[in-house]
Structure 1
Amino acid sequence: MDIARCLVTPEHRPISCIEMQTTGEPTRIVFEGYPELSGTLLEQRAEAKRKYDHIRRRLMLEPRGHFDMYGAVLRKETELTKSGEAHIGVMFMTNDGYSTMCGHATIALGRFLLDTHDLNTFPRRNEVKHDPMAKTALVNLHCPSGLLKVTVPVNDDGSASDPSRPVSFLSVPSFATGIDVTILVPPEYQWTELQGKSKEIHVDFSYGGAFYCMVSATELGFPARLENDKVDQLDKATALLKKYINSTPDLYKYFRHPGHDDLGFLYSIMVVDDTAKARGSEVGLCFFANQQIDRSPTGGAVAARVALAYAKGNRQLGEAWAYHSLVSASGHGPPFLGTVVEELPERYPEIPYPLVRVMGEGQAFYTGFSTFAVEEEDPLGDGGFVFKDCKPAR
């Protein structure tokens, strides 16, 4: 193949990626070929949405990706890299848009950024310091919701990551926004399992870099124990619940960020297994963006769930908790750990619950390398498609 035939415009340049997984959840890390963006990181995110969303679709959706693909675009320069607070920035991509926080991708990025020594990819790589006693290195990563401090286990001289030990990150300030919120689901939004039962359900809302609605399986009308054979039904139920929440102005206050309007949207419905579990462990199933299913325990949701548990008085400072997905609960990969490491002195006047920093911890591994190109004649080449949305023309 003559790759030069693909160089039609700057945004049709081949795009190179590193492929990684964290407890089975993919991260497609874009390190070369993405168009230049300008301004603050949130302004870059807005520009990407406005001008280059076809590239997100090209990389995330079929035929190059799939419905549950996840992506991360490295941003060499942001306002926090210029100030010296961050080593590098990142934008996150989903099947539906651009998320503001992602723990599983942060864990993967921690390893990749330590392993690369290409200064074109990571100009500030040589500024990353390592602790020879602890055999760790600290990467300051600027994501759309703020600054994440990522601690990466490394080899003796700090030149590469150590895949045998977990990566950890300190969250942006995380906080509950609503505890035991009553939602009366009207008939047009009810799912099969709710019909004939109480239409009143109780949920919690919390922020961990993105906003999550936490709801138990039993509140949705399902058995308490989460099982794979209920995923399709849970997909329909959570989609209807999210649609109703987003259409109800009285509920907007639970997912509006006091500090920035761009962070104020409901990202996910997290279904929690409410069966009796061994102390220190619980299972959840995360539906995010356009009903993507997270294979991992979801790092942003871990920060939000830990902050919620702390606000409820169910978690103490320094108390570690294991968070499983259906993948890790079935033995395919480790859970994430979440720990409140600090209660912050500041408060948002609108939020009655404490702000906390959460440490999330997990492991990520390389799965491959890829370069994606566009042929000028390819009718699918400039973007991507969702198979289940394909309908015969009439």
Structure 2
Amino acid sequence: MSSNRHTFSCIDGHTCGNPVRVVVDGAPILRGETMSLRRQDFISRFDWVRRSLMYEPRGHDLMSGALLYPPARDDCDLGLIYIETSGCLPMCGHGTIGTVTVVIEHGLASPMREGELRLDTPAGLVTAAYQLDGENVESVRIENVPSYLHKADLIFDCPGLGKLKCDIAYGGNFYAIIDPQPGCDALDSLNVSDIKRLSPIVRTEVNNLLDVAHPLDATVRGVSHVMWTGHSTQPGAD
């Protein structure tokens, strides 16, 4: 009798409290000559892996993580596939920082350059500079893929707030960025419950208005993140 059981070895870490589950063994073999193509293969054939590791009872609604792979590029040390409760993203900032910490502290990769880990992600090359304090990673600083402004001043309807405008920008994922404006003070007046309630609505409205896709990789498409901004409250902040 065949068994449908699968075993995954994971190390759980975090980035400033944001969870990062690093899958160090058991990741499925993926097809594709690039990490972007491998991401598409993962989505089409192995989304059950993401759901099993991210959803309850093994995960929770804020869980995210990464699977480790050999890089598809010769100039990289490691390949990553990002998984979250929301899906399989091309890039994840906090996930990268947490994964680099786990990888270096547990000796899971041999960097070509000391103090730097070059990562082959579905979004492209991401470079992570890390500093050690003994055997522990003290800090990680990432250089992300090239970002750009996709569309400025997109006007949309937001229930309860009326017509708002946002900018659509790319930085590994597509973001709808909402600044304070007439009729909406954004972070200056919204509380956590407001943000959690309104953000999915904003994402849906924006995606209904605009078919967003990366000009160099059409598989990277759709606004996945909503960012609300506000006036600074700390000295020295812009």
The separation in 2 between residues aligned to 1:65 and 1:98, in whole angstroms, is 15
The separation in 2 between residues aligned to 1:217 and 1:53, in whole angstroms, is 38
* Aligned twin of 1:57: 51
Amino acid of the residue matched to residue 77 of structure 2?
H
Determine if the alignment matches structure 1 residue 234 to structure 2 residue 229: no
The separation in 2 between residues aligned to 1:49 and 1:206, in whole angstroms, is 24
In the TM superposition, what whole-angstrom CA distance separates every residue of 1:315-339 from its partner, at most 9, and x where no partner exists?
xxxxxxxxxxxxxxxxxxxxxxxxx
| Bigger RCO of structures 1 and 2 (CA < 8 A, at least 6 apart) | 1
The alignment partner of 2:226 has SS state of strand
Q: Tell me if structure 1 keeps the 8 A contact 2:11–2:24.
A: yes
The separation in 1 between residues aligned to 2:155 and 2:207, in whole angstroms, is 12
The one of 162, 170, 177 aligned to 2:137: 162
CA-atom RMSD, angstroms?
A: 2.3
The one of 72, 75, 88 aligned to 1:85: 75
The one of 42, 53, 62 aligned to 1:48: 42
The alignment partner of 1:14 has SS state of coil
Q: Tell me if structure 2 keeps the 8 A contact 1:101–1:145.
A: yes
Aligned pair count?
Answer: 236
Bigger Cα Rg: 1
Following superposition, the deviation at residue 143 of structure 1 comes to 0.9
Q: Tell me if structure 1 keeps the 8 A contact 2:156–2:205.
A: no
* Aligned twin of 1:174: 147
Query: Unaligned regions of 5+ residues in structure 1, if any?
Result: 1-6, 131-136, 283-394
Q: How does 1:2-17 map to 2 (within 5 A)?
A: 8-9=3-4, 12-17=5-10
- Residues 1:223 and 1:110: Cα distance change in structure 2 (over 3 Å): closer
The separation in 1 between residues aligned to 2:187 and 2:6, in whole angstroms, is 49
Following superposition, the deviation at residue 277 of structure 1 comes to 3.1
The alignment partner of 2:12 has SS state of strand
* Aligned twin of 2:172: 209
Amino acid of the residue matched to residue 112 of structure 2?
V
Q: How does 1:21-40 map to 2 (within 5 A)?
A: 21-39=14-32, 40=34
- The structure in which a higher percent of residues are strand is 2
Q: Tell me if structure 1 keeps the 8 A contact 2:27–2:68.
A: no
The separation in 2 between residues aligned to 1:256 and 1:59, in whole angstroms, is 28
The alignment partner of 2:137 has SS state of coil
The separation in 2 between residues aligned to 1:219 and 1:168, in whole angstroms, is 36
The separation in 2 between residues aligned to 1:17 and 1:95, in whole angstroms, is 16
TM-score in terms of structure 2 length: 0.89
The separation in 2 between residues aligned to 1:79 and 1:98, in whole angstroms, is 18
Amino acid of the residue matched to residue 65 of structure 1?
G
The alignment partner of 2:214 has SS state of coil
TM-score in terms of structure 1 length: 0.55
* Aligned twin of 2:224: 267
The one of 207, 220, 225 aligned to 1:246: 207
Following superposition, the deviation at residue 260 of structure 1 comes to 0.8
The separation in 1 between residues aligned to 2:136 and 2:75, in whole angstroms, is 22
Q: Tell me if structure 2 keeps the 8 A contact 1:217–1:226.
A: no
The alignment partner of 1:247 has SS state of helix
- Residues 1:202 and 1:64: Cα distance change in structure 2 (over 3 Å): same
Q: Tell me if structure 1 keeps the 8 A contact 2:179–2:186.
A: no
Amino acid of the residue matched to residue 49 of structure 2?
I
* Aligned twin of 1:128: 112
In the TM superposition, what whole-angstrom CA distance separates every residue of 1:20-40 from its partner, at most 9, and x where no partner exists?
111111000001112211222
* Aligned twin of 2:155: 183
